[in-house]
Amino acid sequence: MKILTFLVTGGSGFIGSSLVDTLLSLGHKVINIDNMNDYYDASIKFGNIKQARLNPNYHFFQKDICDFDEIDKVFAQTKIDFIIHLAARAGVRPSIDNPILYQNTNCLGTNIIFELAKKYGINKIISASSSSVYGNNIKTPFSETDIVDYAISPYAATKKANEVMGHVYHSLYGIDMIFHRFFTVYGPRQRPDLAIYKFVDLIEKGIPIQMFGDGSSSRDYTFIDDIVEGIISSINYLFKHNNVFEIINLGNCNPISLFELIQSIQKALGKKAKIIKMPMQPGDVNATYANIDKAKRILGFEPKTSFSIGLKKFVDWYRKNQEDFK
């Protein structure tokens, strides 16, 4: 692949910064738009891009994707070849508390990115969707052909809406798009509000953890390196093909129950968890489980990192990270 200029929205977050580092390592130029909001400590996001900012091929714009005029200026002053749209308000439970904020950022912000892609003739986009769009899907594993009209959180609803809007821009303006439904991504740089990070942090410090439900709920945990590899494969696919609109699961195809997760973390840390049992939370799905046949067929996607190895890598990163903070 020739050297390209990628716009990565949300490029300071967990998935975004990991992808940015990979793109830079491949010699590409990267423009990162991120508003560095206060959903979690912004210093973590600034830490994620510390190395990238030393690279002359990297340019950072601290701007909100909902501000059309400011984002328009970025498009106008740069020559973007490809958009990877990851910016969003994340989290199922917070979306229930503030659905209007999620609708504004996730839907309006995404529409602005698509509209500016049309304006500036950028016709290759990869956009982040989510396994949450499947809701409490009865059939497992979850396939891209399953009906996803029954979201159980505002966050999930915004992700489904973006897929639909993406098809509009593909149909009307010929923009090639791939939406990836990510399945519970974990690994180094994981957001501190997510279960693996929270449990590791609390158990390491001897603080009780909250277990929501009876421990039988499960997630298809997917290691960050496998997700980034899937995105890179999608970039290559889009440059070899035209007239593309695809929705593709990126998961590990191996659900882990909440009870198993806690046991695995205890083993990785060598410490016993103190557990407080709590009722299931509104908006939380019972299970996620990815059918990745389409990703294998189209992208050659094959997750390589087992959960035990991925968890060990996260714990090693966490402990080093804590030492760095000290």
Q: Which residues are catalytic?
A: 155
The DSSP line for 166-228 is HHHHHHHH--EEEEEEE--EESTT--TTSHHHHHHHHHHTT--EEEESSS--EE--EEHHHHH
Cβ–Cβ < 8 Å for 57, 30: yes
Separation CA 104–CA 29 (nearest Å): 29
Instruction: Supply the Cα-derived Rg of the chain in whole angstroms.
Output: 19
User: Residues 249, 291: contact at Cβ < 8 Å?
Assistant: yes
Phi, psi (deg, nearest 5) at residue 6: -105, 135
With vertex at residue 281, the alpha carbon angle to CA 133 and CA 97, rounded to the nearest 5 degrees, is: 75
Burial class (CB in 10 A: 0-12, 13-18, 19+), 118: middle
